[in-house]
Structure 1
Amino acid sequence: MYHPYFRGKQFELITIREMAPLLAEKGFVPIIEPVREALGGLKKTLTAVCDAGGRAIVIVNPYHGDHQEDGTSITGLLQDGFIGNDAIAAGILLRSDMTVAEVLACYADHTDHNPVLVHAGFTAPKDLAAALAANMPDMTNVFVDDHAKLLYRKHFDQSDRILVRDGFRRQRNADYPAMEEFSDLHVTYEDLGMDGFGDFLIVGDVYSEGGGPAYAVAIHLTFIDPDKDDVMYIYHFVSDTKDTPTDPAGKFAQALTKLIKKLDSGTSNLLETEAIKEFRVLHEKGHFPGLGYVKKLSMKHHIETLADYLG
């Protein structure tokens, strides 16, 4: 049903590990694009997913990060640690520079891991669908919405189809509005003929190796508005201080104070998730856990919010 798309940085992997029981319980299937050369964290994460009885899709030919030239070590990890394990599928990322022959070769190399095609810029859907016609009823195809519109997706209508849409509009932290629309895909995916949906959580599809100094600190939290047809919106709680790269802890305190004030107003529509409870504890203690940890809490809140909505 829900397929959150993660780039495999440290706090993304930690989020999946900590959420593995809930992901498994709800049938949510994370898609992980490994971007770090060291794969120990990925192995630990996949083990946690399996131990919880969940499933995951691992991109074996990443477009971003340390493995973009050669994904053989990822394939090796799947072969060595997860062979014969139906819980872990090999995801093949289909970009504009891939040919049908290259896709088929990668597909053949990963038949032991129930390959899933992730369409993100590929330009020959008709030829590929024809070549894989016999396999199609047993396949899952994931479409990144910006790169795979309705006509493209129709070629794969004999398979399970997942639509991933980026609801996060990346800006400089200082420039975010207080609130904006995030997505309605959790409500409309079946109307679009899809079997499931996904997003890039509160990180977005724009990849960056790492942020520089934070001139402003922002806390991003999603919520579903029952008065607006259950559309999902996102709050951006931004620090007042925006003109200096120093004092991230002070800026976090400013943003967190805005978050707590909104929560306590009783009009926020924010679900009181475990992540929200942790934000409350951080506020009570006056503690700054680091920006990566803050991002992890926002991702956990997003997953908990969708888990609650989807029952």
Structure 2
Amino acid sequence: MYHPYFRGKQFELIAIRETAELLAASEFVPIIEPVRETLSGLNRTLKAISDADGKAVVVVNPYHGDHAEDGENISSMLKESFLGNECITAGILLRDDMSLAAAVACYEKHKDHKPTFVHAGFTEPKALAEALGSGLGEIQHVFFEKHCGKLYRKHFKGSRRILLRDGFQRRRNADHPLIEEFSDLHVTFEEEDMDGFGDFLIVGDDYTEGGGPAYAVAIHLTFIDSGKDDVMYIYHFVSTTKDTPTDVAGKFGQALGKLIAKLDSGESKLLESGAIKELRDLHAKGHFPGLGHVKKLSMKHHIETLADFFT
């Protein structure tokens, strides 16, 4: 049903490992586009998912990161460690620079890993559907919404179809509003004639190799508002100090203080998730664990919130 899309940085992989059992129990299927040259963290993550009897899709031809020019190491890892393991399947990323012949060749190469096509700008949907022929219905298709309108998706009707929507509005941390709408796709995906939905969590689709100076620190947390047709919203708790790149720990403390005040008001509508409990502990201890760790907690909270909604 739910397919969160990760770009496979260190803390994203840790978030998956730490929620592997919850993902499996909720039948959530992460899609991972590996961006780091070393694959040891990815391998550990996939084993954690497999051990929990969960499922994951691994993109074998990433567009971003260290494997953008050659994904052969990813293919080799899948073959060596997960061939015959139905928990872990291959994902084929279809961008605007990929030809029909290349798409079909990649599918044939990874056929033993039950490939999922991830549509992200591909320009020949009708020809691909025709090339897949009678096997079309056995293949899962994931669509980046901004690249795939209804007419595009129509060519793959009859197969399992997942719609990915980016609910995160990218801007400078200092410019975030306190609250804004994130997505309603978790309640409307069936109206879109889809079998499931996905998003890019609290990170967004835009890929950056590393963050710049933290002039402002923001903690991004999602919640579902039962009083507004179960639409998902996102809070951006932003530090008060926004004009200097120094004292990141102090700015985290400011943002965290705003979050705790909102939680303690009893009006936040945030799920008291395991991630929220850890944020409360960090506040009580006055500890700053690093921005990567904070992002991990926000991702875990997002997964926990959706798992609670579908329980």
Query: For residues 161-184 of structure 1, what are the alpha-carbon distances to aligned partners after superposition, in whole Å with 9 as ceiling and x for unaligned?
Result: 000000000111101000000000
1:1-311 alignment to 2 at 5 Å? 1-311=1-311
Shift of 1:105: 0.1
Report the Cα distance in structure 2 between the residues aligned to 1:90 and 1:135, rounded to whole angstroms.
16
Report the Cα distance in structure 1 between the residues aligned to 2:233 and 2:137, rounded to whole angstroms.
35
Give the AA of the match of 1:301: H
Give the AA of the match of 1:100: L
Report the Cα distance in structure 1 between the residues aligned to 2:227 and 2:84, rounded to whole angstroms.
47
Query: For residues 225-280 of structure 1, what are the alpha-carbon distances to aligned partners after superposition, in whole Å with 9 as ceiling and x for unaligned?
Result: 11110000000000000011000000000000000000011111100000000010
Report the Cα distance in structure 2 between the residues aligned to 1:29 and 1:226, rounded to whole angstroms.
25
Report the Cα distance in structure 1 between the residues aligned to 2:206 and 2:136, rounded to whole angstroms.
30
Shift of 1:213: 1.6
Give the AA of the match of 2:292: G
Shift of 1:137: 1.5
Report the Cα distance in structure 2 between the residues aligned to 1:126 and 1:83, rounded to whole angstroms.
30
Shift of 1:133: 2.2
Report the Cα distance in structure 2 between the residues aligned to 1:88 and 1:146, rounded to whole angstroms.
27
Secondary structure in structure 2 of the residue aligned to 1:23: helix
- TM-score of the superposition, structure 2-length normalised? 1.00
Report the Cα distance in structure 1 between the residues aligned to 2:130 and 2:89, rounded to whole angstroms.
22
Could you list the runs of 4 or more consecutive aligned residues of structure 1 that deviate by over 4 angstroms after TM superposition? none
Secondary structure in structure 2 of the residue aligned to 1:134: helix
Report the Cα distance in structure 2 between the residues aligned to 1:193 and 1:310, rounded to whole angstroms.
19
Report the Cα distance in structure 1 between the residues aligned to 2:244 and 2:77, rounded to whole angstroms.
43
Query: For residues 39-70 of structure 1, what are the alpha-carbon distances to aligned partners after superposition, in whole Å with 9 as ceiling and x for unaligned?
Result: 00000000000000000000000000000000
Secondary structure in structure 2 of the residue aligned to 1:66: coil
Report the Cα distance in structure 1 between the residues aligned to 2:111 and 2:89, rounded to whole angstroms.
9
Shift of 1:215: 0.4
Report the Cα distance in structure 1 between the residues aligned to 2:212 and 2:138, rounded to whole angstroms.
44
Report the Cα distance in structure 2 between the residues aligned to 1:234 and 1:154, rounded to whole angstroms.
31
What is the alpha-carbon root mean square deviation over aligned residues?
A: 0.5
- TM-score of the superposition, structure 1-length normalised? 1.00
Give the AA of the match of 2:133: A
Query: For residues 106-162 of structure 1, what are the alpha-carbon distances to aligned partners after superposition, in whole Å with 9 as ceiling and x for unaligned?
Result: 000001100000000000000000111211111100000000010000000110000
Report the Cα distance in structure 2 between the residues aligned to 1:196 and 1:184, rounded to whole angstroms.
13
Report the Cα distance in structure 2 between the residues aligned to 1:111 and 1:270, rounded to whole angstroms.
42
Report the Cα distance in structure 1 between the residues aligned to 2:271 and 2:114, rounded to whole angstroms.
36
Report the Cα distance in structure 2 between the residues aligned to 1:122 and 1:133, rounded to whole angstroms.
18
Identity within the alignment, % = 70
Give the AA of the match of 1:178: L
Report the Cα distance in structure 1 between the residues aligned to 2:152 and 2:127, rounded to whole angstroms.
11
Report the Cα distance in structure 1 between the residues aligned to 2:40 and 2:109, rounded to whole angstroms.
23
Report the Cα distance in structure 2 between the residues aligned to 1:171 and 1:243, rounded to whole angstroms.
16
Give the AA of the match of 1:95: R
Give the AA of the match of 2:290: G
Report the Cα distance in structure 2 between the residues aligned to 1:130 and 1:57, rounded to whole angstroms.
24
